[in-house]
């Protein structure tokens, strides 16, 4: 064979090598982009979790909490199944599986402390209008309960049980815990979407009145700007996502 044949084959192999390297670099670049997008979903604030149907195997979970003499649970949410029971936030301890619980029946919004229910007008809460709202549910050890929707106090109550909430429990979003971190029921599962779920607690009363209260009044943007007194953050909850019947997407505007 002529020398030109060998030279042309060598050049051809070089071309193949260059193309292979280019393809590998392209694949690596796409992988880095995909990883970055995945990390942004889990660490960025503007992520919505959508639960299209009731499932006992889909929820978000995070363990551990200090003892609490006050709790404020805030989130943006839309409930899309008005005829079913939807459990939004549950805190269970060995002292009781309903130490703190927010859920909605077909006709009422409910906050439960130590298995004692406080019922609220579902129309005032807007939990049956199919729209996205910003909510804060507040309780303290004096027995006061306040419910805020889109920056306005829409419900209040007194006389709730006044024990401190025990430490060391488990938080679950989207399910009711009939025992700590388990015994979930499909019929009680959340249907709809939520985002920016943050649990605050152990407020100094004067500080709550002068700093936290005014922050809650600006919740009409559907996202509470207050960053103090965090018990559990949205980023922590996202890392505890479990199940196949929900989707995690970048959030759209909160005005719809």
Q: Enumerate the domain spans of the chain.
A: 1-43, 47-250
pLDDT at 109: 83
pTM: 0.78
pLDDT tens-digit readout, 46-55? 788 888 888 8
CA gap 89, 53 in Å, rounded = 17
CA distances from 76 to 51, 73, 122, 146, 210 (A): 14, 10, 16, 17, 23
CA distances from 111 to 47, 119, 144, 209 (A): 25, 7, 12, 22
Q: What is the mean pLDDT of the chain?
A: 80
Which range among 1-10, 70-79, 110-119, 175-184 shows the weakest confidence by mean pLDDT?
A: 1-10
CA gap 46, 7 in Å, rounded = 57
CATH number of 47-250: 2.60.120.200
Judge whether residue 231 has pLDDT over 70. yes
CA gap 149, 138 in Å, rounded = 12
Judge whether residue 138 has pLDDT over 50. yes
Task: Indicate the DSSP class of residue 203.
Answer: -
pLDDT tens-digit readout, 95-107? 877 889 999 887 8
pLDDT at 27: 54
């Amino acid at each position: 064979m002529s020398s030109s044949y060998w030279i042309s084959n060598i050049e051809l192999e070089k071309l193949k090598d260059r193309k292979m390297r280019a393809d590998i670099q392209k694949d690596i670049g796409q992988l880095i982009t995909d990883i970055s997008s995945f990390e942004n979903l889990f660490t960025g604030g503007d992520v919505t979790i959508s639960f299209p149907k009731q499932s006992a195997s889909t929820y978000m979970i995070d363990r551990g909490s200090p003892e609490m003499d006050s709790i404020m649970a805030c989130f943006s949410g839309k409930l899309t199944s008005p005829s079913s029971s939807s459990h939004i936030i549950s805190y269970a301890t060995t002292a009781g599986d309903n130490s703190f619980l927010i859920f909605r029946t077909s006709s009422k919004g409910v906050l439960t402390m130590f298995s004692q229910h406080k019922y609220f007008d579902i129309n005032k809460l807007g939990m049956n209008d199919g729209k996205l709202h910003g909510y804060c549910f507040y309780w303290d050890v004096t027995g006061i309960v306040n419910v805020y929707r889109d920056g306005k106090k829409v419900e209040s109550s007194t006389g709730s049980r006044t024990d401190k909430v025990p430490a060391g429990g488990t938080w679950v979003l989207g399910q009711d815990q009939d025992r700590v971190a388990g015994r979930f029921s499909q019929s009680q599962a959340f249907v709809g979407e939520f985002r920016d779920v943050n649990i605050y607690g152990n407020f100094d009363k004067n500080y709550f009145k002068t700093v936290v209260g005014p922050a809650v009044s600006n919740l009409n943007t559907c996202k509470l700007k207050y960053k103090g007194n965090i018990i559990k953050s949205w980023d922590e909850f996202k890392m505890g996502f479990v199940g196949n019947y929900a989707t995690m997407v970048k959030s759209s505007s909160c005005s719809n």
